[in-house]
Amino acid sequence: MNEILETLPGTTTQSLQSDEPKPEAKTRDEFDVEIDGTVGQPFVDNPKMSSRNCDVFYAEKQAIFDVNVDIGRNEIIAMIGPSGCGKSTYLRVLNRMNDTIPICRTTGTHTLDGEDIYAKDQDPVLLRARVGMVFQKPNPFPKSIYDNVAYGPRLHGLTSNRSELDDLVEASLTKAGLFKEVKDDLQKPGTGLSGGQQQRLCIARAIAVDPEVILMDEPTSALDPIATAIIEELMDDLKESYTIAIVTHSMQQAARVSQRTAYFHLGRLVEVNDTDKVFTNPEHQLTENYITGRFG
Ligand SMILES: Nc1ncnc2c1ncn2[C@@H]1O[C@H](COP(=O)(O)OP(=O)(O)OP(=O)(O)O)[C@@H](O)[C@H]1O
Ligand SMILES: [Mg+2]
């Protein structure tokens, strides 16, 4: 994996410190490359989630164009691409978070274990317990650490007494790598924790309802390298039990944590491949331009 990291811009390896002139960043309009479907391997056997013919509109403006992709079981799939290319919009399709934006309209077929998540009888609140989400900015509720984690299990009636709830809170905080740090402070406000701790609290809160999939939208972009490393390690443990889709602007992070990588460009899904392949031998010119830093 080190070889991959060395090929990425932003790393302080020797090859990048040489005197060779850096390729000049180009603007969007300078790229006139056809995007015709998705290259690579967007589909897998027995997927955990899948989307077919996904378009997303904000009022009249189309943000996602005909995305077709599967998300494999117990895999971490990274979603990368320039700002505004639709990564967050597509991620929110997967747990119907876009339903909360009145002007947003999603089309296509989207399934979780083969079940249509946009079916009329599908309750979005229950769906979001199965497909949890962690946001860029840690957003603990203005409640105690304990109540933050207990919130979902209480809402969904997952435990029948206080001692079961205590156990679930402890187990979730432990899985999120936070329990040791907060075990004596469970009644203190979640908002009083450091940024990295708050993000782990939000992961504990997502885990507490025993989701099947966790969507993470730039979960470490507000964190320092140490807190980032802790969360990345945690993701590696979590993938044993969950499927994870992570949006990241850090190609190093995508290379470190994910098994497959999806490259979005101007609302289109250009390429999906094994992460090693995307970062060493991408199939599409646009993917290559992006990972080599030739995209301004
Ligand atoms: N709530 C909204 N209302 C209207 N348009 C929106 C909304 N959210 C996103 N968009 C538009 O949809 C397109 C895709 O945005 P999105 O936030 O999904 O991109 P992104 O790839 O996540 O970008 P970033 O890397 O900056 O987070 C953009 O053109 C954006 O302006
Ligand atoms: Mg985004």
Q: Are 56 and 98 in contact (CB under 8 A)?
A: yes
Domains in the chain: ranges and CATH: 2-10+24-291 (3.40.50.300)
| pLDDT confidence of residue 13 | 37
Alpha-carbon distance of 52 to 68, in angstroms, equals 4
Q: Cα(286) to centroid of ligand 1, in Å?
A: 20
| pLDDT confidence of residue 22 | 53
| pLDDT confidence of residue 21 | 54
Q: Are 258 and 80 in contact (CB under 8 A)?
A: no
Does residue 88 have its Cβ closer than 6 Å to ligand 1?
yes
| pLDDT confidence of residue 31 | 52
Does residue 58 have its Cβ closer than 6 Å to ligand 1?
yes
3-class SS string, the chain: CHHHHHCCCCCCCHHHHCCCCCCCCECHHHCCCCCCCCEECCCCCCCCEEEEEEEEEECCEEEEEEEEEEECCCCEEEEECCCCCCHHHHHHHCCCHHHHCCCEEECCEEEECCEECCCCCCCHHHHHHHEEEECCCCCCCCCEHHHHHHHHHHHCCCCCCHHHHHHHHHHHHHHCCCHHHHCCCCCCEHHHCCHHHHHHHHHHHHHHCCCCEEEEECCCCCCCHHHHHHHHHHHHHHCCCCEEEEECCCHHHHHHHCCEEEEEECCEEEEEEEHHHHHHCCCCHHHHHHHCCCEC
Q: Which residue is closest in CA terms to ligand 1's atom 5?
A: 58
| pLDDT confidence of residue 10 | 41
| pLDDT confidence of residue 294 | 78
Ligand 1 atom nearest 85 alpha carbon: 21
Alpha-carbon distance of 275 to 187, in angstroms, equals 41
pLDDT in tens, the chain (296 residues): 445 554 454 443 333 344 555 555 555 444 556 677 899 999 999 999 999 999 999 999 999 999 999 999 999 999 999 999 999 999 999 999 999 999 999 999 999 999 999 999 999 999 999 999 999 999 999 999 999 999 999 999 999 999 999 999 999 999 999 999 999 999 999 999 999 999 999 999 999 999 999 999 999 998 889 889 989 998 998 999 999 999 999 999 999 999 999 999 999 999 999 999 999 999 999 999 999 987 64
Q: Are 90 and 54 in contact (CB under 8 A)?
A: yes
Residues 6+ apart with CB under 8 A from 119: none
Q: Cα(86) to centroid of ligand 1, in Å?
A: 6
| pLDDT confidence of residue 18 | 45
Q: Which residue is closest in CA terms to ligand 1's atom 3?
A: 58
Does residue 101 have its Cβ closer than 6 Å to ligand 1?
yes
Does residue 87 have its Cβ closer than 6 Å to ligand 1?
yes
Specify the residue for token string 């929110």.
92
CA 89, 94, 98, 100 torsion-angle sign: negative
Phi–psi pair at 46, nearest 5 degrees: 50, 60
Ligand 1 atom nearest 92 alpha carbon: 18
Does residue 84 have its Cβ closer than 6 Å to ligand 1?
yes
